[in-house]
Structures are given as structure tokens and as C-alpha cells.
Amino acid sequence: MGTLNINHELDDQIFNTINPLDPEEFRRQGHKIVNFLADYYQSIEQYPVCSQVNPGYLQKIVPNSAPNNPESLDKILKDVERDIIPGLTHWQSPNFFAYFPSSGSTAGFLGEMLSVGFNVVGFNLISSPAATELESIVMDWFGKMLNLPNCFLFASGGGGVLQGTTCEAMLCTIVAARDQMLRKISRENFGKLVAAHIAGIDPGNFRVIPTIKANEYTLCPKSLRLAILNDLKEGNVPLFLCATIGTTSTTSVDPLRLLCEIAKEFGIWVHVDAAYAGSACICPEFQVFLDGVENANSFSLNAHKWFFSTLDCCCLWVKDPSALTNALSTNPECLRNKVTELNQVIDYKDWQIALSRRFRALKLWLVLRSYGVTNLRNLIRSHVNMAKHFEGLIAMDKRFEIFVPRKLAMVCFRISPLVLSQVSTKFDDEKEVNMFNTKLVESINSCGKLYLTHGVVGGTYIIRFAIGASLTHYRHVDVAWKVIQDHANAMLNQGYV
């Protein structure tokens, strides 16, 4: 064993220099990062909300290759402060009203830390039973909080799974729907399937059904039926309908019950995308949004949007898990094991695209337990109340108009075209109205005091004000409104027009 011993000693030296998971070093450095982040939250309001750096800024200030020798955490954290933070858009800032919120929380953070610390790869039950079991349990807990019909819960043959994003959840359900349909019609008819792209379906076979303002931009059942009948007439096979509870542009809520009835008639898979609004349905007063969901095949929401769970955490429930597993199962020899073969256990790898998977359930479990259902409902309600408050502020300033009725914690508004047309006749052109509102948003965002984004519906540019960052409170909403008014004043009064 002579030569083996020589390696041994050399390697001992390496290990003594760098032990990548030395518990005491982990403890020492872990505390430093906790303090760094706590200080960041303390001072978060001092940064411009939307990063003001120019593209390519970082390349100019960092070395062009990795260092050969170790650098200390203190040095790295100084660089984070000097080089990285200015390049961040601060999604956790109380003055972040853009897109939809990415609502972090202490409990969500702690759950992630536990998950990252354990660092298990929960592809199947045996690889870490607690990961699979806790996930099934919290998905049933959450399903009950949402008052989802029993058919989506494990006890009644359905079930839930945590995925990364809605995109993944949609892809999985489309693939499930596709394979279910291909078992009915033959594979030669693949080209006739009408749905979405990554799953191989012809982009030309994807139908976007227009919505109108009179219906608050919801999907109209009549239009759906017409589109289906048209496709059938042309020999196509309508496959998959995505109904949305809380659309991105305007948080519109599609009439689920009516849409599901039509889809059922034609054997179409219905997925309910409640990425943003789903979380609100833990409050009984919002559960009306889900009326009819018992006729859908699948339902998803993003807990990382408005449920205090950090990115990523998409909750997907299905009525028939076998539709998913029939389409997505893999059985590589290296993962074969007695438990899977003997028992009817859940191997979550068969519920998603990827084999490897994070232990995301810990995050949701910590959020649910640390805050409790009552407080979670009240937090959601407080955001909705702040949005009501903001809506009230807008209503008092006649230069602005609310564009669609507010449903939850997002308000869509713009400078009124009537007001603008009194300023100049050029605003009789809708494009000019849109341009004015575009410039207003750019002006507001470049001051760094708040960040908001826009949508375009039916050709109209609208300003979106989405409340839900965990640190946001009334005073932030009031200041934001003042800033918006100031920028509008400047543009309306100081010759901008």
C-alpha cells in the first residue's frame, strides 16, 4: 500500500487547507451572511428600486477569469455591496410595485436554508422519504386552505406537486393532455393537435382568443366555443385550454364554470393558471374565483408570487396523477428500488420534467406553520386593502383613470385620454396617449423611488401598480402616489407635451 499512502498524506494536506463543509467554518460564515442580509433589509429603501446601471457594467469591473487562490468572505461581501447590489432591482423593497410581487419572508428563507443545508435530491421516495411525504402533506394542507374540491387531494385520488415555475407546470400538463389524446386518436394525427409549442405542437396550431374590455378582458365562453367549432371543422383536434384566474395584464378572472363546461363537452384538458391570484383564495371571500374548478383537470399557483415563499415554488394540483405519470415516468436502473416496486408510493420525478428535485416542501411548511392560516389570510387582505386605498387616491385625481375594475391587490390606471385631449389635439390619437403614459412610467422608474411596470390590453398602454412586497405598508403606497403625481405634474405642466 506504499503508493496509496503517499496520496493519502498529500490529500490530508488538501483537506486540512480546504474542508468545504467544515461545520465550524460553516457556522462562522453562515452568521456573517445572515447579518449581511438583515442589514440589507434594514437599508433596502436607500437603493434605487430599479437598477440604474448600464448594460455591460459588471464585465468592466470584474476579472476575466476565476481566481487561482481563495478569497475571503469579507472581501467577497464587499464586492457584493460595491458591484452586485447596484446591479440589482430590489424586488424585496417596499417600493417595488412592478410585475407581480416576489414575496419573500423570513420563514420562506429559513425553509430554503434547511432545504439547501440538507441538500437531498428527492427524485423518488427512497432517496429521502421525508421530502416526498412532506410535499404530499403540505400540498393537501394548502389544497384544503384553498377549499379545492377533494378530487384534487391525495385522499381522493388526486394530488399536488411542487414545481419550479408555472411554465414547467404548464408544459407537464400539456404533455399529459397530449399523450392522453394520442392514445385516443392515433399518432398520425399529431399535426392536428391544437395547443402549445415546446411540446412539439405546431406554433400555427396555437389559438389566442381575443378578449374585450366589455368583458373585462376575460375569455368569453362564446368565443371559446366558436374557436373550437372552427378547429373541428378543419379537422383539427382541440387539446388544451388554459383558463386564467388573475391575468398578468389586468388580473382578470376567466369564467371558469362556463369554460370548463364547454371544454368537457369536447374532451379538452383544462388547466387553471392562478399563478398570482391563487394565493388569495385562502380567504373565503375570494374563493368564488375558483367556482367550477371541479371540472378542470389541473390547477396551479405560484407560492413565490404572493405566498411568502421565495423563488421558486409553483404548486400544481391534478385530478388524475396517472395522466402526468403516464406521460413523464422514467425508470432508469440506477433508481430502481424495492419500495417503488412493492408499494404504491409517489416518486415525484414522474410528476415533472427533471429527475433531480429540491426539497421545496420545507419552505412552504415553514411559511404555513410560522405564520398560521389566520395571519396569512390577513396579510393577503392587507395588500388588497392597500390596493383599495391606492384606488381611492387615484379616484380623487381626475387626471387619472382606473382602466379596469380592481379585483385584488393590483390597480391598472393611466393618465386619462380626456384630460390629455384638452391639452393638445394630438392626443386624439390613441398612440400618443400610449406614448405619454409610457414616458410617465419611464420618468417614474428612472428616479429610483419606486418601480412599476406596464401592460398593453386591446391596444391600450396601462400602468400596473402591484402591491404585495412583504415590506410594503400604507406609507409606501402614499409616497408612491405622491411621486406618480409629481411626475405627472411635471409632464403635464412643464411643457413636456
With respect to its own copies, which residue has the nearer C-beta, 221 or 464? 464
Residue spans of beta strands (DSSP E) within 266-409: 269-273, 298-302, 314-318, 400-402
Find residue 435's DSSP bridge partners.
none
Nearest 5°: the CA angle 380, 383, 387 is 140
CB of 349 within 8 A of CB of 330?
yes
Tell the smallest beta-carbon distance from residue 99 to its own copies (Å). 7
Tell the smallest beta-carbon distance from residue 442 to its own copies (Å). 7
Tell the smallest beta-carbon distance from residue 127 to its own copies (Å). 6
With respect to its own copies, which residue has the nearer C-beta, 30 or 405? 30
Tell the smallest beta-carbon distance from residue 14 to its own copies (Å). 4
Tell the smallest beta-carbon distance from residue 424 to its own copies (Å). 24
- Give the separation between CA 133 and CA 111, rounded to whole angstroms: 16
Tell the smallest beta-carbon distance from residue 264 to its own copies (Å). 25
CB of 483 within 8 A of CB of 449?
yes
Tell the smallest beta-carbon distance from residue 404 to its own copies (Å). 15
With respect to its own copies, which residue has the nearer C-beta, 215 or 438? 438
SS (H, E, C) 441-492: HHHHHHHCCCECEEEEECCEEEEEEECCCCCCCHHHHHHHHHHHHHHHHHHH
With respect to its own copies, which residue has the nearer C-beta, 234 or 333? 333
**How is the beta sheet containing 410-415 ordered, strand by strand?**
400-402, 410-415, 460-466, 453-457
Tell me how long the chain is. Answer: 497
Residue spans of beta strands (DSSP E) within 63-171: 159-163
- Give the separation between CA 294 and CA 260, rounded to whole angstroms: 9
Cβ atoms < 10 Å from Cβ of 362: 24
- Give the separation between CA 199 and CA 178, rounded to whole angstroms: 8
With respect to its own copies, which residue has the nearer C-beta, 53 or 226? 53
Nearest 5°: the CA angle 486, 490, 494 is 155
With respect to its own copies, which residue has the nearer C-beta, 272 or 467? 467
With respect to its own copies, which residue has the nearer C-beta, 18 or 214? 18
Provide the H-helix boundaries in 159-255.
166-184, 221-233
Cα distances from 180 to residues 44, 177, 229, in angstroms, run: 49, 5, 21
Residue spans of beta strands (DSSP E) within 304-372: 314-318
With respect to its own copies, which residue has the nearer C-beta, 295 or 310? 310
End-to-end CA separation in angstroms for the chain = 86
With respect to its own copies, which residue has the nearer C-beta, 33 or 229? 33
- Give the separation between CA 93 and CA 395, rounded to whole angstroms: 26
Tell the smallest beta-carbon distance from residue 68 to its own copies (Å). 5
CB of 386 within 8 A of CB of 474?
yes
- Give the separation between CA 389 and CA 395, rounded to whole angstroms: 10
Tell the smallest beta-carbon distance from residue 354 to its own copies (Å). 4
With respect to its own copies, which residue has the nearer C-beta, 251 or 295? 251
Tell the smallest beta-carbon distance from residue 425 to its own copies (Å). 28
Tell the smallest beta-carbon distance from residue 421 to its own copies (Å). 24
CB of 115 within 8 A of CB of 359?
yes
- Give the separation between CA 62 and CA 40, rounded to whole angstroms: 22
With respect to its own copies, which residue has the nearer C-beta, 145 or 419? 145
Tell the smallest beta-carbon distance from residue 130 to its own copies (Å). 3
With respect to its own copies, which residue has the nearer C-beta, 196 or 293? 196
- Give the separation between CA 373 and CA 138, rounded to whole angstroms: 13
